[in-house]
Structure formats: structure tokens, C-alpha cells
Amino acid sequence: MLRFILGLVGLGFVGVLLISFFVTTADYFSNPPEPTAEEEFHHHAKELHLASDGPFGQFDEKQLQRGFQVYKEVCAACHGLSLVAFRDLEALGYNEAEVKAIADQWAIQVPTTNEETGETATRKALPADRFPSPYPNEIAARAANNNAFPPDLSLITKARHGGAAYIYSLLTGYEKQQSAELVRKFPAAKTPQGLYYNPYFPNLNLAMPPPITTNGQVTYAPGNPPPTVDQIAKDVTAFLVWTAEPKLENRHRAGLAVAIFLLIATIIAYLAYRNIWATHKAKVRVTGPLEPQNIAKSQIAKDQEGVAG
């Protein structure tokens, strides 16, 4: 009785699903979904290789310093870095005095309260401060950016599909004009006034103007590679990998130690297991006569030959 009732329940679900399936497929064929500009013109992220890639990857300090310089001179005007503190920059190879100077000379000041009047005020940043945001709040940020909100960059390489490669592709992927084909096929996807065409951006049209436009836009200290657009984009991406995952090097080092430890533990434990089971090893032979298939075969053979048993 229970099986009968449950079988009816099953039939009910299956029936409704099959009706749904036929409606879905009929709808699909009678009314096929229109292709979208994003489907056709969106590009997947370019390949990007950084020193921090792979299980043994470590940061390239010089590159992170260059990337920090790019952030400071190009990105920081609009994008915050609110999860990173100035003191964290010591991981990039700056000493305490340098970090103090960087914080002291930071263009944006830290909000505070006037000790005497109680009014809101600002002061110079200290190493213990996190990077102050360029705008006091989201409304101010939108007002200054044509109603677009520049996201905080602290976690950006972990917060987008495609990760660091996506950020690098976006920075280097702007195109001056949409292809004539796109405009012809999808007139609605034409880049509106105030947006910029970038096939690496999921919606194709992006509010951020191209941030890195010319070779030499940032001047690197002597001894660094020439600041081409590509190099600048790579460097700032490497820096943003660090801001998103400052403990990456610790993680890789610890991971290696843990993996080696567990590998040795596995081997020793396996040998112990073999030793303990040595006299009791009792395996069914894979093709042994007692395997169900073989018993069945011998049964058939016996039946054919008319042997009892």
C-alpha cells in the first residue's frame, strides 16, 4: 500500500515535469531566445602569468612596488583600498620609515574629529591607518562619476570571474570603437554616451574610462622594465593580487610543508596497514569463480550440460 501511494506521488511529479518539459521545448522552438550582443562579442580573459601563480608562486617585490606606484598615481583617485593598511606595505619591501613617509604624503587624508571643537576634520595618514577612501560615501562617488560607483579594489582579483587575468584583460582590452558588425546586428548594444566599449567586460560597455592609455604614463624608477601599457597593467594587477591575498606566500609555503607531512604520514600509515593485514589479507579475486557473474556463468554451463547442482 505504501509503495502504491508513493508510486502515485512519483507519477504525479514525473507527469508535471514532463508537461513542463514539453512546454519548455515547445516554447524554445516556437519562440527561440534572441541572440545577445554579449553572447557574441564578449571575450574571455587573456592569459596572464604572474610570479605568484602556481603552487610554488611567490610575489615579485619589485613588481608589487611598481604596481603600488600605478595604484597611487592612476587608480587611487577613484578607487578605495579600504582593507589594506599602510603598514601592510612593508610586505612589499618598504622599510618602516618609507611606509611612514608614504602614509604621511598620501593625497587623501583620513577623516577624524577635531579634538577641540568636535567638528569633523581630516588628518594625515599614519602607518596603522587603512587606505582612506577617495569619496566620503557612495552618493558622493556616484555624483562624481556619472552615477557609476568605482568599486573598492582590495579584493577585486578574488571578486570577479576570471580573477587577475580578467582585471589585466579589462585594463588592456578597451577598444576605441565597436565593430561595425556589432552595431549593425545589435543596434541596442551601441555604446551610450559616457560609457566605453570593452569586450572583456560582461556587459561590453563600461563606465570607467580607459585608465592606462599611453606608454610611459607612469614613470618607473631606473632599473625597472619600460612602462608600456601592457607592463603597467600587469604590474597593477600583480599588486591587486597581493591586496586580495596578502598571505599567499605563507599559504604556499605552509601548503608545501603540510603536503609533504601528509604524504609521509600516508606512506607510513599505509605500510603499517599492510603490516597489520599481512596475515589476514583477504581479497576476493576479481575474476575468481565466486564472483557473481562467474557463478551465474557456471550455473548456465551446468544447466546446458544437464549437470545437477
Binding to another protein (CB under 8 A): which residues in 200-219? 202
Beta bridge partners of residue 130, listed in sequence order: 85
Q: Compute how many residues bind another protein; rule: CB under 8 A.
A: 77
Interatomic CA distance for residues 291 and 286, integer angstroms = 7
Compare residues 46 and 160 and give the one whose CB is closer to another protein. Answer: 160
Beta bridge partners of residue 224, listed in sequence order: none
Subset of residues 47 to 66 that bind another protein, contact rule: CB under 8 A: 55
Question: Is 244 an interacting residue with respect to another protein (CB under 8 A)?
Answer: yes
Instruction: Tell which one of 11, 139, 140, 143 touches another protein (CB under 8 A).
Output: 11
The owner of cell 544447466 is 303
Compare residues 123 and 302 and give the one whose CB is closer to another protein. Answer: 302
Interatomic CA distance for residues 194 and 180, integer angstroms = 19
CB of 280 to another protein, least distance (A): 6
Compare residues 190 and 270 and give the one whose CB is closer to another protein. Answer: 270
Backbone angles phi, psi at 147, to 5 degrees: 65, 15
DSSP per-residue codes, 195-261: -EE-TTSTTSEESSPPS--STTSS-PPTTS----HHHHHHHHHHHHHHHH-TTHHHHHHHHHHHHHH
Instruction: Tell which one of 65, 154, 169, 231 touches another protein (CB under 8 A).
Output: 154
Instruction: Tell which one of 77, 159, 179, 190 touches another protein (CB under 8 A).
Output: 159
Taking CA atoms, 159 is separated from 152, 154, 232, 241, in Å, by: 11, 9, 21, 11
Question: Is 292 an interacting residue with respect to another protein (CB under 8 A)?
Answer: yes
Question: Is 143 an interacting residue with respect to another protein (CB under 8 A)?
Answer: no
Question: Is 137 an interacting residue with respect to another protein (CB under 8 A)?
Answer: no
Compare residues 107 and 268 and give the one whose CB is closer to another protein. Answer: 268
